[in-house]
Structure 1
Amino acid sequence: MKPQLEMPKYVDDPPHLLLWRIDDLAPIVLMLVVGILADRLGMFVLIGLLLVRFYSKYRESRPDGHALHALYWFGLLPIKGRTTPNPFCRRWLP
């Protein structure tokens, strides 16, 4: 049985590079660079593949946009807008 390939259907779908989503390729590329620098290429590529597997399971069990919301919540995704509240302000007083 061939694995199913997800193709973008809408304009706001996540970006793809050839057949893979960018968020699936990022850990592999990052671990590839770290593996080259550490002279342990095979081990770090394997770690990158495992990270992609665990992240894809996590992503499929959550609603769309959950990772971006988590990055904003922890203050790692700066959003520049006048109406966007500070992510570190957890309680609002009237």
Structure 2
Amino acid sequence: MSLRLAELGHAVVASVEIIAQVNTLRAEGRDRGVELRVEKPVVTDEGDRAKALDWGVDVPLNNAGISDGVRPSTCRPRSSAVSSRSMSSGRSS
């Protein structure tokens, strides 16, 4: 998801669970021609949480509970408003 958001032009700070993922994700970003910052914070560490406050993140997105089957197209900003009726029926206007 972080790579797709970067491809869409968003500034991305991607956090990973294990250190080996840092280089892998950076390499994938280079291969796709996108730039993203990759960090490996420990959320239970007060120092890491303090550092994260300096990242300048506007919108944190924790996708730890999202399966690999999520379609990146669902991350695109909507170009028009969606009515409450269309949202409840699962259709966009």
Query: Normalising by structure 1, what TM-score?
Result: 0.28
Larger RCO, structures 1/2 (Cα 8 Å, 6+ apart):
2
Higher helix share: 1
Question: Which protein has the larger Cα radius of gyration, Structure 1 or Structure 2?
Answer: 1
